[in-house]
């Protein structure tokens, strides 16, 4: 289990949980090792999109108990007073960012995530694909 990380139980089974990482704590080499990783998920591209779209990059680890299942890459923007999380939005000149999962991890696990915790744990509630 990741340090300081509690896990979520549903019917006695540990459920997948996202843990948002501070950008300074991201192991970019580990992320770049995923076979399906793209240039659009690199720090340089995320920085470009963040600057041009007034967005905040989001990197999160997906894990179930102590097993690391993969990572999520996206950005948040504010629109009409709402904070929205997207793996891309129209006009970003980028394609899908989203999930990079470890070999053998089924994509269905990434869509059934129970909860997300930020480093400060000040906001929770990334349930499925909403922020």
Task: Look at residue 92 and tell me if it is in a domain.
Answer: yes
Task: Look at residue 131 and tell me if it is in a domain.
Answer: no
Task: Look at residue 123 and tell me if it is in a domain.
Answer: no
- Name the DSSP letter for residue 124: B
Question: What pLDDT is stored for residue 85 in this prediction?
Answer: 85
- Reported confidence tier of residue 3, pLDDT bands at 50, 70, 90: very low
- The mean pLDDT value of the chain amounts to 75
Q: Please state the domain count of the chain.
A: 1
Question: What pLDDT is stored for residue 90 in this prediction?
Answer: 76
Question: What pLDDT is stored for residue 108 in this prediction?
Answer: 65
Task: Look at residue 129 and tell me if it is in a domain.
Answer: no
Provide the residue range defining the domain that includes 82. Answer: 9-117
Task: Look at residue 93 and tell me if it is in a domain.
Answer: yes
Residues 6+ apart with CB under 8 A from 38: 95, 97
Task: Look at residue 19 and tell me if it is in a domain.
Answer: yes
């Amino acid at each position: 289990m990741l340090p300081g990380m509690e896990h979520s139980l549903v019917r006695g089974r540990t459920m997948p949980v996202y843990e948002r990482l501070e950008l300074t704590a991201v192991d970019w080499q580990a992320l770049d090792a995923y076979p399906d990783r793209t240039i659009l998920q690199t720090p340089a591209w995320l920085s470009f999109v963040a600057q041009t779209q007034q967005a905040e990059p989001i990197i999160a680890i997906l894990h179930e108990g102590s097993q690391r299942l993969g990572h999520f890459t996206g950005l948040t923007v504010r629109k009409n007073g709402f904070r929205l999380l997207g793996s891309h939005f129209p006009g970003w000149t980028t394609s899908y960012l989203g999930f990079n999962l470890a070999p053998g991890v089924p994509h269905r696990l990434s869509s059934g995530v129970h909860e997300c915790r930020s480093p400060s744990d000040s906001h929770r509630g990334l349930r499925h694909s909403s922020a």
